[in-house]
Structure 1
């Protein structure tokens, strides 16, 4: 069985006005859906970022995969490298996942194709992807409620257009958490910080602890604080946080904070590629890595990362960005097979308000997702849904994520600064 055709389809879906240290989410989120078609209805699926520079690289690689044996992922990597060359370095447009490098660019492009190959492998042998990654160590993968400071709605939209409404103070954050945990049964909670002055975000964490005394809590300011501020917040949240994620920029800064912090520091911004591991781990800059198969090069390489973390005594979770069901399925298959997964994974799924490209989207219940028993990723594409979301892409006018630019439309004085406080 060989790949006969590669299809890359950019899609867009509505995104709420979620605030972060870089600005605010635009009304539409972008993704790209990858199909590796082998004939007779056999299709492998992958999902990745939908920004224009990334799409250009995906579309350049796609034709080179014709004739690929989906079991030969070493050949896949060679073909990706041949097309991209060694000097490719496209900026990381998400803005919240660390810097870019030629190696990271290659891994970002490789990832959706590797995921699609694993989906094909599973379908061909009749086994779920988790079995190809070593077998299940859990039947359900836990996810965390992901809280955001947010506006009631995008400017110009009806104020009741967003069912979650405004969350700009502790009461709003607690109300959001109650809705998310009540709907999905989440058993841990993460707050995206770096939006308000640190003392106000500490207040939100204290309010969450009072409202949810048994839920592990996390705070992620996306490197918005200085080392001094990070140390102070860590001291004031002792006993409140399961971990503090990326409080300050850089491995050096994180290592300084980690020396005095009473809780582990987590990251998806300073250890983001293989070349970051030796220094980041040796300097004890992080205690938890939020792995993300979208930029670590796919599912197998992320499993390798988890094994390295085990060797160093580093905890493992999974990072999330705005995503659809193919990514959720891939994360769930991966999470089912990782003994090292020591913390519930992040997911943006609730914030997509039901938008998806799958015929039968996976469900979050009791704070977790059941691992599909069907072969491969265990999910099927809905061609009509894919066509609708592609039409969104054609009409929405957005081609690259720009949280900062969108924020500046409403606050011209806004600047993305790390650190800000």
Structure 2
């Protein structure tokens, strides 16, 4: 069996762009006719730049090879151009192509990918979702703690036992920074009102995206400890593990991180320094399923757990669900509510959600197939924005300053 063909789809996500501005799907086909699908989560470059890079990696390191040779493909791409170091763009490309190989392998074997990653451990996966509150006009409004509390109740009624929110904005090109007192007051108000609304029926997950310097993160964590969050996410920017470890030592709240990290090497430093005890790798960026499984195994030796990140499309979600099903130290998986809406439309069969749990598919491979009519109707992406973007100006301390009485 040899890989013979590649097709790349850059799918525009319709407004309100839940899950990003676009998704990059790849399809591989073997010389014996088996097709596999993968997803690339790489955000630093426009997809117009990404497509030729994907084709280059495919032609150099995968075309004409047996899809089973995952280690060979990974090492060849990781070493491309005499690099051998973590590169988020290369690893995003590798991830999508590698996931498609696993889909082919599973289909050829007639088994779900989780069975080939050590066997299914979890028949259902605890899930959490961000809160997506809407105001009276029907628009998403992430700045109102009362709306967030109402949405939290609604999500608990849907079955969720954990909810995430991030009131510590903005994230800017110049983060980390020292949060203003106004922002810290707002963060505490969100936690207080959500906890009062849902009681102990669900965990609260305090999301941040590297907004803070360590001293600011510690100040905020001290305020939040009384609300007992299950985690304090990525409190400082990625790249300086010792700084995150400083925060971890100063708070009783577990630290989680990983959505912007890639390869076992970056996660090894997190574990070794005690910077986080909950790892949030994104399978479609971290280096693929086998690399994510290695990271999960490494975490297991440190008594750390995995909580895979997912803010992209449903193919990456399907792969991540298969990984989680086969990981003994799985904690919880990110969902985008129940993966309805466009996440469901772009697939032939919706990802299965049941009363707060994701149900891993038992079909061969990843258990998902693209609805190519929907893919074609939303391709190509013609916008200028990247998948996610940060504010271009430094944070303004007066923006959330309390009014003087």
- Pairing of 1:335-350 with structure 2 (within 5 A): 335-341=324-330, 343-348=331-336
* Alpha-carbon distance change, 59 to 152 in structure 1, aligned in 2, over 3 angstroms: farther
CA distance in 2, matches of 1:399, 1:271: 22
Residue 169 of structure 1 is matched in structure 2 by 144
Deviation per CA, 1:91-134, whole angstroms, max 9, x where unpaired? xxxxxxxxxx6544332221111111111111001100000001
Q: What is the deviation of 1:190?
A: 1.2
CA distance in 1, matches of 2:105, 2:82: 28
* Match among 233, 258, 263 for residue 245 of structure 1: 233
CA distance in 2, matches of 1:204, 1:195: 13
| Equivalences, count | 377
* Alpha-carbon distance change, 367 to 415 in structure 1, aligned in 2, over 3 angstroms: same
* Alpha-carbon distance change, 181 to 353 in structure 1, aligned in 2, over 3 angstroms: farther
Residue 387 of structure 1 is matched in structure 2 by 376
- Pairing of 1:317-336 with structure 2 (within 5 A): 317-321=307-311, 323-336=312-325
Matched, 1:283 2:248: no
Is 1:5–1:38's contact at 8 Å kept on the other side of the alignment? yes
Q: Which runs of 5+ in 1 are unaligned?
A: 19-24, 89-100, 154-158, 409-413
* Alpha-carbon distance change, 402 to 309 in structure 1, aligned in 2, over 3 angstroms: closer
Matched, 1:57 2:53: yes
Is 1:220–1:244's contact at 8 Å kept on the other side of the alignment? yes
Matched, 1:303 2:293: yes
Residue 197 of structure 2 is matched in structure 1 by 211
* Match among 300, 303, 328 for residue 313 of structure 1: 303
TM-score by length of 2: 0.84
Residue 107 of structure 2 is matched in structure 1 by 123
Q: What is the deviation of 1:253?
A: 2.2
Residue 80 of structure 1 is matched in structure 2 by 77
CA distance in 2, matches of 1:49, 1:316: 18
CA distance in 1, matches of 2:100, 2:11: 17
* Alpha-carbon distance change, 103 to 49 in structure 1, aligned in 2, over 3 angstroms: closer
Q: Which runs of 5+ in 2 are unaligned?
A: 171-182, 401-405
Matched, 1:264 2:243: no
* Alpha-carbon distance change, 340 to 360 in structure 1, aligned in 2, over 3 angstroms: same
* Match among 150, 155, 159 for residue 180 of structure 1: 155
Larger deviation, residues 252-261 vs 4-13? 252-261
Is 1:107–1:295's contact at 8 Å kept on the other side of the alignment? yes
Residue 48 of structure 1 is matched in structure 2 by 40
- RMSD, matched Cα: 2.9
* Alpha-carbon distance change, 17 to 202 in structure 1, aligned in 2, over 3 angstroms: farther
CA distance in 2, matches of 1:296, 1:37: 23
Larger deviation, residues 323-332 vs 261-270? 261-270
* Alpha-carbon distance change, 399 to 202 in structure 1, aligned in 2, over 3 angstroms: closer
Is 2:143–2:167's contact at 8 Å kept on the other side of the alignment? no
For 1:252, what is the secondary structure of its paired residue? Answer: helix
Q: What is the deviation of 1:39?
A: 5.1
Deviation per CA, 1:255-282, whole angstroms, max 9, x where unpaired? 2211120121111268544333444323
CA distance in 2, matches of 1:365, 1:11: 27
Is 1:17–1:151's contact at 8 Å kept on the other side of the alignment? no
Q: What is the deviation of 1:349?
A: 5.6
Residue 21 of structure 1 is matched in structure 2 by none
